[in-house]
Structure 1
Amino acid sequence: MKADPTVPGQKLWEDVPASLPAALTRLIQDCPDREALVTGTERITWAGLDRASRDLAAVLVARGVNRRTRVGLLMGNGIDWAVCAFAVMRLGAVLVPLSTLLRAPELEQQLRVAAVERLVLVDGFRGRDLMEEFADLLPLDEQDGRTPRLPALKSAWRWDDLRSEARPASTALADALEIRVRPADDLAIMFTSGSRGAPKGVVHTHGNATRAVASGLRVRCVGPGERLYIPMPFFWMGGFGGGLLTVLMAGATLLTEPTDSTPTPEQTLDLLSRERATLFRGWPDQAARLAAHPRTAETDLSSLRPGSLEAILPPHLRGRPGSKANLFGMTETFGPYCGDPLDHDMPPQAWGSCGTPFPGTSIRISDPETAEPVGPGEHGEIRVRGPNLMRGVCGRSREEVFTPDGWYRTGDLGHLDADGRLWCHGRLDDMLKIRGATVYPTEVEAALLTIPGVRQAFVTDIPDTTRAARIAAAIVPEGDAPLHEAEVLAAARTRLSAFKVPDILRVLPSGTDVPRTASGKVDKTALQRLLTR
């Protein structure tokens, strides 16, 4: 894509492939034999992924998939997921990744919101018979087509049937559709939800997705030839944008593990060592557990380098505690839009910040009530604008989603300092008013995490009809560290103003995870129930 000198900032993107087919074509020209995806039990090169997805694209076209057809995909991580997803996207059809955690009512809601027309799914997952579990939602057969409950859904295809089907003699029609894909064409609908809200379908285009990923490669330290470990499911942005599309845009290799079972630490360590992983961007808790595992000391992880989660790195490669930026982003921005390079320490005055906006991204802090911009250091709602931003949200008008001048109201609270770094203070709807004072849950959580023996902290409010709302916190201890509520509260009082100290505090058993939504976020309503029972 050539730059237009009349468009400010467009030169940033002149060398960035502006669609998935364009990015795949460039990779096949540059490094066809480089591995694209390795799962531990299977592997495929970029040339192999190109061939397999082109063949499947021809099958999909023969079955009625066209430009703009919305295709749902329900299966676990693996090469099959990547092949099917690339086949859909290279046609100009719209991929709708669906969580394997969904139950029938949740799946029905997402299929309806995204107006999915074709659904590809596996027979079973982690002991569940998906064909039986979702039978009431699926079309009876190819001829009957639509179901009364989901009028948009025309077909539901078993993955085993689809991949075993002989491809048409010619891929000419599929190739013709691919040539017509443009940056403004929709690429995918990703589902996300707040900690309290219903899931929403976020619509991303080829152009905004490729630019979002490209703008963060330097900060995330992902370049050509990297071997990036990401365990996140592909139906979440961390696995899809942060994994599959990241290695596509960088010319790298993705290392992941099947999600149809939970890998053991030994299996993960073997994968990292055998495949010479260079970057570990997994779950922070996972990195800490691996670092503490007896096998780690005798496992060759010398290929890992800075830019990885630091718990898994040897001490001489780690930065100073707290010195790295907290990458900050959301599904609506196709992943992170703010951060500083993960292989360098920030200056001490920036510790705890989210770093600086990625190239092309603009950030404004606005007063939540007046919508007027506020100055450096003042707290307000974070608003974002740039080429990385989604096209819109399913079922909502542009006016409902964006301001007249194109800003997206993120609902996040934060401030920009004098150096332009972003500091996040939680969600606007999570901001607490306690006895007339403002309390940010993230601030209380950060203080609790400094108490020795505390591994995780989760803070919310407890509404009370007889008195002001109360602050409540759940903490998870580190290993077998003995923690007592009274001692934790006493330590909290030395770190927090009196009105910020939790009124209710529960110490959960080590290894406990708090309730989460289908998109992986903490379920605040369920957390409140946990803290009040």
Structure 2
Amino acid sequence: MSSHDFVVDRSVSIARGLPLSEEAGLGELTLGGFLREVTSLYGGREALVHRLDDGSRERWSYCDLWGRSREVAKALMATGLGKGERVGVLMTNRAEFLSAMFGAALAGGVATPISTFSTPAELEYLIEHSAVSYLLFEESVLKKDFLEILCGLDPQIGTSAPGLYASNRFPFLRELAVVGGKGRGAARSWHGFLDLGRAVADDRLDARAKSVVPADPGALFFSSGSTARPKGILSAHQGVSLQMWRMGRQQGLSDAVRSWTANGFFWSGNFAMIIGGTLSMGGSLILQRTFHPAEALDLLQAERVTFPFAWPHQWEQLTAAPNWQAADLSSLTFVDTACPIAAHPTVTTAWIEPRHCYGNTETFTLSAAFPAMTTADDAAESHGVPLPGNLIKIVDPLTGHPVPLGENGEVAVKGPTLMLGYLGTPLFETLDEEGYFRTGDGGRLDEQGRLHWQGRLNDIIKTGGANVSPLEIDEAIRALPGVKMSQTVGVPHETLGEIVVSCVVFHVAGEMSEDAVREKLRAVLASYKIPRRVIGLDEQQLGLTGSAKIKTSELRSLAAKWLANETA
């Protein structure tokens, strides 16, 4: 992205991206339209590879994915789906997840992915809050039997006949279908569910799909719940589709890229970056239902993957897997030079991932970004410039007024991918009077229109009258040898307000002392930013959400208790 791709208001902190009409590479802006267009472009190519439980692999072409998605759409129509009704999809990364999501969209429904990390209580909340009319789910994931869990939440699911479920427990839910099982009670088998759609004519489905427009609700994703209960975030087809078309170019992926991830597609970032980024480039998705490091390495080698996508803790597990040294990973192309897997003897890479970016589920991932291959010097350690159609302003958190250019404040965003709203919350309570979404994140804009994200405003540590960003401290700590993970929090203090406490996971427990960490940080951080305390923890104690975000509120409480016990 060049300096001409955005405009900066130099009197106040406002940056504008290119007009959306000038963005190249966009196609149809509904989910069904996206799939129809990529199928017309790449029909016979392999769209996905799904590893089955017996170790064999199922392969679908783009035409197969289109046909299977239409089967789901017809089954939904046959059982009475109305336009705008929500279709819950509770599945891991498998072929049926994609056909369910696109099928719901083609039939005029709202695709509603639900995390397979959900506990019974969380699943109960998500079904209630989303008000899904349909639940298409995988019977078992690891040690979870979702059919048993659902019957436990409402016994009528286990006793009702298919198509006759009606319960006050989940008053909107009426149809259930299960992948990977024979079905029971109200839950039809997957094949039985699809069979219902055979009586629906193609032209009826085509008429349905044609009636869906970009402004219609298309997807309901949930936030990760790192600070509170997950929020239901409703997005229009346009916002989701725009990001899917963009992501291949944003990541610099090549034609026919082969992408692998085991990270759930029920998170918006994975959905846009991996599904959108891959299919928009005519590539193939190498699916792994749940993350197993040794199995993942086998898949990377056997399927000649070019683009692997994982979270930091997964990279560490891959390098520790028993088949790490023996694996042939020479096909990997889109691997960041700083990624642990780049050190493998068979990997040669010069790729720089698009790490300079900023986004939220509320904007269906990125609202500001630099593309892949952007150097740290060009990005100036920023988080990008506004993407086409977007406006970003920095406002005073108390007054909501824009601050002068270069000053710190709260990041506010609006643009074509902005959500339609939170479930249960009037839109006027979410947006300001100019239609901006105030993110709750701290940041500033520089003279080049680059956004410098500083973390959650409620995570900013106020110590002795100074504001300290935990992001800056954690970047410095993670650069130290022997450090695996780090999260810095503010712990209440009688005289200073808060003190800076860093919770660190070392590759080898006790590898570095608290004093040693603090001493090394003195070379790169101002004295008031040096953590007063450094606590060594196990990885499990960090309390990750399903999307690998650290639950800072829980960690703050843990750190406070740890310090209190130490002085007791």
TM-score when normalising by structure 2: 0.84
Distance 1:447 1:64 in 2: 56
Gaps of 5+ in 2: 1-17, 52-56, 182-187, 563-568
Q: What is the match of residue 72 of structure 1?
A: 88
Give the match's secondary structure for 2:394: strand
Give the percent of matched residue pairs that are identical in Structure 1 and Structure 2. 30
Q: Is the 8 A contact 1:231 1:239 kept in 2?
A: no
Distance 1:514 1:10 in 2: 44
CA distance in 2, matches of 1:130, 1:466: 50
CA distance in 1, matches of 2:401, 2:318: 47
2:253 equivalent to 1:222: yes
Specify whether residues 376 and 240 from structure 1 end up closer, same or farther in structure 2 by C-alpha distance, changes over 3 A only: same
Alpha-carbon distance between aligned partners in 1 of 2:256 and 2:271, rounded to the nearest angstrom = 19
The answer to whether the 8 Å contact 1:380/1:415 transfers is yes
Deviation at 1:72, TM superposition (A): 1.0
CA distance in 2, matches of 1:382, 1:151: 38
Report the count of equivalent residues: 520
Q: Which amino acid aligns with 2:358?
A: F
Instruction: Kindly provide the amino acid, as one letter, of the partner of residue 313 in structure 1.
Output: A
Instruction: Verify: 1:207 aligned to 2:238, yes or no.
Output: yes
Amino acid of the structure 2 residue aligned with 1:528: R
Correspondence for 2:64:
48
Q: Which moved more, 1:511-520 or 1:49-58?
A: 511-520
Name the residue aligned to 1:405: 434
CA change 1:519–1:232 in 2 (3 A) is closer
C-alpha distance in structure 1 between counterparts of 2:393 and 2:264, whole Å: 31
AA aligned opposite 1:149: R
In the alignment, structure 1 segments of 5+ residues that lack a partner are: 1-6
Question: Residue 87 of structure 2 aligns to a residue in which SS?
Answer: strand
Q: Matched residues in 2 for 1:436 and 1:257: separation?
A: 49
Inter-partner Cα distance in structure 2 for 1:454 and 1:425: 22
Q: Is the 8 A contact 2:26 2:246 kept in 1?
A: no
- Cα distance 1:256–1:327, how it changes in 2: closer, same or farther (>3 A)? farther
Letter in 2 for 1:272: L
1:257 CA drift (Å): 1.0
CA contact (8 A) 1:123 1:129 kept: yes
Return the alpha-carbon distance in structure 1 between the equivalents of residues 516 and 191 of structure 2: 61
Per the alignment, residue 489 of structure 1 pairs with 518
Aligned to 1:431: 460
Q: Secondary structure at the match of 2:557?
A: helix
Name the aligned partner's letter for residue 164 of structure 1. Answer: H
Query: What code does the residue aligned with 1:252 have?
Result: G
- The answer to whether the Cα contact below 8 Å between 2:543 and 2:554 also exists between their aligned partners in 1 is yes
Distance 1:125 1:291, change over 3 A: closer
In the alignment, what sits opposite 1:57?
Answer: 73
Query: Per the alignment, do residues 519 and 303 of structure 1 end up closer, same or farther by CA in structure 2, a change over 3 Å counting?
Result: closer
Secondary structure, aligned partner of 1:176: helix
Work out which of the residue numbers 531, 534, 554 in structure 2 matches 1:526.
554
Counterpart of 1:434, as a letter, is: T
CA distance 1:373–1:442, shift in 2 (3 Å) = same
Closer/same/farther in 2, CA of residues 11 and 88 from structure 1, 3 Å limit: same
Tell me what 2:501 maps to.
472
Contact 1:325 1:353 in 2 (8 A): no
Per-residue deviation, 1:518: 4.4
Post-superposition Cα deviations, 1:19-65, rounded to whole Å, max 9, x if no partner, equal: 12212222222211111122343221111111111122211211122
How far apart, CA to CA, are the structure 2 residues paired with 1:422 and 1:49? 38
Task: For residue 542 of structure 2, give the secondary structure of its aligned residue in structure 1.
Answer: coil
Residue 426 of structure 1 and its aligned partner are, at CA, apart by 0.4
Q: Does 1:443 align with 2:475?
A: no
Deviations 1:145-173 (A, max 9, x none): 33223322223333343421224234333
Query: Comparing both chains, which one has the higher relative contact order based on Cα–Cα distances under 8 Å and sequence gaps of 6 or more?
Result: 2
Contact 1:193 1:199 in 2 (8 A): yes
The 1:225/1:481 distance shift into structure 2, 3 A limit, reads farther
Match of 1:164 among 191, 195, 212: 191
In 1, are the aligned partners of 2:504 and 2:536 still within 8 Å (CA)? yes
Flag the 1:185–1:13 CA change in 2: closer, same or farther, 3 A. farther
Q: Residues of 1 paired with 2:260 and 2:208: CA distance? A: 33
